[in-house]
Amino acid sequence: MKLAVSDLMPLEQYARERGAFRQRVLRHKAARRLAVGPNATWIFEDRLTVQYQIQEMLRTERIFEPEGIAEELSAYNPLIPDGSNWKVTLLLEYEPDVRAAALAQLRGVEDRCWVQVAGNARVFAIADEDLPRENAVKTAAVHFLRFELDAAMRAALHGGAPLAVGIDHPSYRHMLDPVDEAARRALVADLS
């Protein structure tokens, strides 16, 4: 379910509750954050993680007018999964002295990210639907991915099937197989 203005705390309330809310979100994100190899982190977004991002943007930018809040909701609501998919923020993390060269080698990596429910084919990401994040020289350090799972895959996951995730790019091949049980359970909760 997408977020509405009524789901957000006014700036004054958020200022009071920010510390406790932040700790709650960090605990929640722990099972939703997967290291896929040494330089790629996947953060599986959901309603709570997106609410936190919006609250932080409103706070940082001091946005309190209805039009500005509506813009933030419009920008971030697409990151909330809708029951048949996962939405992932892909972070490519390199030290500053090697970042440019690494990102140049990783052009197209966002299209080579996959999830696999045991007994099913790999599902490759639909990447950066909002705008391109790659140019002729390099890829970006942040990408937004969507993985669409069919009904059989969702049923298998609800039935306890293992999940694997990975990246199959010529310059970066890593996988988690299987994803640990705490993460798998957190992600299955996103699927209806």
From CA 111, how far away is CA 76, in angstroms rounded? Answer: 21
Phi and psi of 3, rounded to 5°?
A: -85, 145
Residues 22/59, Cβ–Cβ less than 8 Å: no
Rg (C-alpha) for the chain, rounded Å, is 17
Domain ranges of the chain: 1-29+47-80, 31-45+81-192
Q: What is the pLDDT of residue 1?
A: 85
Task: Quote the distance between the C-alpha of residue 188 and its chain's center.
Answer: 14
Phi and psi of 61, rounded to 5°?
A: -90, 0
Q: What is the pLDDT of residue 131?
A: 66
Q: Which fold has domain 31-45+81-192?
A: Immunoglobulin-like (2.60.40)
Q: Along the 192 residues of the chain, how does pLDDT read in single tens digits? A: 899 999 999 999 999 999 999 999 999 999 999 999 999 999 999 999 999 999 999 999 998 899 999 999 999 999 999 999 999 999 999 999 999 999 999 999 999 999 999 999 999 999 987 767 777 789 999 999 999 999 999 999 999 999 999 999 999 999 999 999 999 999 999 998
Residues 114/166, Cβ–Cβ less than 8 Å: yes
* Helical packing angle, 47-61 and 11-30, nearest 10°: 140
Q: Can you give the pTM of this predicted structure?
A: 0.91
Which DSSP category does 64 fall into? -
From CA 80, how far away is CA 47, in angstroms rounded? Answer: 6
Tokens of 116: 């696999």
Residues 6 or more apart from 161 whose CB is under 8 A from it? 117, 118, 119
Strands 85-92 and 40-45, sheet pairing: antiparallel
Q: What is the pLDDT of residue 129?
A: 75
